[in-house]
Structure 1
């Protein structure tokens, strides 16, 4: 819910979330490879599952980024009225 006092320069955290996801995917893939080479199949499977989850999350983030600014209100959209007590 918007309260009307958001900063004018507010930005979506999608790009930050994207780069943190890329960082996590690199580490999860590296962990999968390292644990596979070390003969630890359980840990390799856990890192592989994490890599799949991060990859799906990255796909959703890219989808939201490509949707563009239409799903985030701009300066011309008035703020919503705060809910009133009942």
Structure 2
């Protein structure tokens, strides 16, 4: 819900999520390989699953970034009225 108090310089968190994925994916892969070499199959599977989640998140983020900006109402559009609770 829009409140009308959004900053004019607001930025999307997609770039931050992308760079966190770029940082986290190699570490998750490294952990999976290291634990597999050490014979810790449970931890290796957990790191591999985390790497898969990170890779899927990265794909979603890149897709959203390539879609570009979506319509956002300008400053001349008043904020939406909050929903009213149902009357009894």
| Count of residue correspondences | 85
Tell which structure's C-alpha radius of gyration is larger.
Answer: 2
Asked whether 1:7 is paired with 2:7, we answer yes
Give the ranges of 4+ consecutive aligned residues of structure 1 lying more than 6 Å apart after TM superposition: none
The two structures have a TM-score, normalised by structure 2, of: 0.84
The two structures have a TM-score, normalised by structure 1, of: 0.85
Q: CA offsets, 1:33-85, max 9 Å, x none?
A: 11111111111111001100110011000000000002x51636724323154
Query: Which structure 2 residue ranges, 5 or more long, are not aligned?
Result: none
Matched residue SS, 1:29? helix
Going by fraction, where is helix more abundant, 1 or 2?
1
Which of the pair has the greater relative contact order for Cα pairs under 8 Å at 6+ separation? 1
